[in-house]
């Protein structure tokens, strides 16, 4: 699936099942909540934090998908093409960092 198709599919879903988009600030709060759920899984599965019984209900793939869903909602409601934004962002990073990481001794050991 392309990013443009993802944005369209989410827009169609919102219009069919979601009634309307939450406002931008509400979606920002929801995004923060979803990123927190990803952080919880990462800290407990890959980090040093111990798990709790209800942590078994969390699924990293599902939580990452939730993050992408909300990011696409915010992009849709603010008129941003994520395809264009990501392409420009990669170009910016390539120009800025084309030798930076290759020269980082911490990464090339």
- Note down pLDDT in tens along the chain; length 109 residues: 999 999 999 999 999 999 999 999 999 999 999 999 999 999 999 999 998 877 777 899 999 999 999 999 999 999 999 999 999 999 999 999 999 988 899 988 7
SS3 107: coil
Both tokens of 105, joined, read: 């001794």
Pick the CATH number of 3-81 from 3.90.1150.10, 1.10.10.10, 1.10.287.1080, 1.10.260.40: 1.10.287.1080
Q: How long, in residues, is the chain?
A: 109
Domain limits, the chain: 3-81
Residue 70: burial class (beta carbons within 10 Å; 0-12, 13-18, 19+): buried
């Amino acid at each position: 699936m392309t990013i443009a198709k993802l944005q369209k599919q989410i827009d169609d879903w919102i219009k069919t099942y979601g009634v309307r988009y939450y406002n931008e600030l509400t979606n920002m709060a929801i995004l923060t909540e979803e990123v927190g759920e990803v952080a919880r899984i990462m800290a407990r599965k890959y980090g040093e934090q111990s798990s709790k019984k209800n942590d078994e209900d969390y699924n990293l793939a599902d939580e990452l998908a939730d993050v992408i869903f909300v990011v696409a909602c915010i992009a849709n409601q603010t008129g941003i093409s994520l395809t264009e934004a990501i392409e420009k962002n990669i170009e910016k990073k390539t120009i800025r960092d084309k030798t930076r990481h290759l020269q980082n001794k911490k990464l090339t050991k």
